[in-house]
């Protein structure tokens, strides 16, 4: 499997946040690199910005063919996780990009929309658990590890689904 990477130069060209630019400068200095040295996305995922930075960097990663495949598969996994919430009408489905030339950018933003939609329903503890699942799942893709089947959100948070289905309480994440 090819390793997905992003360069600091590409991140700067796409208006990366100050924190990620500072972190990447330090990482590159520690590893003897310059702005064109590839930084593995798995390393970005383990950075202080974690999943947010890795999702932001994914559409800018190289090689393009692997990036697009991983982004689409990861987006589908995340959408499958929240499908139960969509089925019950608790969140709107992420936008569908029907164009066959849809790039990884579209897939990642669909994932982001699904994540944000789920976040509006989940309590803080459940949001943290879902973010951890997404980071772990993305790490499996980035490292080429074997992927276990995707379990819907309701599998690990039956109380959440029950509360929402029955009218819920003010804090369905507990």
pTM of the model: 0.66
What is the model's pLDDT at position 132? 84
Dist CA 130 CA 67 (whole Å): 22
Domain span at residue 37?
1-62
Nearest to residue 56, comparing CAs of 66, 41, 39, 78? 41
Across 18-26, average pLDDT: 95
Question: Of all residues in the chain, what percent carry a pLDDT higher than 70?
Answer: 60
Least confident of 51-65, 75-89, 138-152: 75-89
The verdict on 117 and 137 lying in the same domain is yes
Sign of the dihedral defined by the CA atoms of residues 139, 144, 146, 152, in that order: positive
The verdict on 38 and 80 lying in the same domain is no
The pair of structure tokens assigned to 1 is 């499997």
- Given a contact cutoff of 8 angstroms between Cβ atoms, the answer to whether 142 and 45 are in contact is yes
The verdict on 76 and 128 lying in the same domain is yes
Least confident of 1-10, 31-40, 97-106, 162-171: 162-171
Given 41, 62, 83, the domain boundary residue is 62
Given a cut of 90, is residue 26 above it in pLDDT?
Answer: yes
84 versus 128: which is more confidently predicted? Answer: 128
């Amino acid at each position: 499997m090819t390793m997905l990477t992003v360069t600091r130069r590409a991140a700067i060209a796409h208006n990366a946040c100050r924190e990620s630019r500072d972190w990447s400068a330090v990482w590159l200095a520690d590893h003897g690199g310059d702005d064109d040295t590839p930084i593995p996305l798995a390393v970005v995922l383990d950075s202080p910005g974690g999943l947010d930075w890795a999702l932001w960097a994914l559409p800018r990663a190289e090689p393009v063919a692997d990036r697009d495949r991983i982004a689409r598969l990861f987006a589908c996994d995340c959408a499958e996780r929240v499908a139960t919430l969509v089925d019950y009408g608790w969140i709107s489905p992420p936008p569908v990009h029907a164009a066959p030339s849809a790039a990884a950018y579209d897939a990642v933003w669909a994932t982001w929309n699904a994540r944000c939609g789920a976040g509006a329903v989940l309590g803080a503890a459940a949001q943290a658990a879902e973010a951890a699942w997404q980071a772990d799942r993305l790490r499996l893709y980035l490292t080429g590890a074997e992927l276990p089947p995707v379990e819907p959100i309701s599998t690990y948070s039956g109380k959440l689904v029950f509360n929402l289905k029955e009218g819920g309480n003010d804090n369905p994440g507990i």
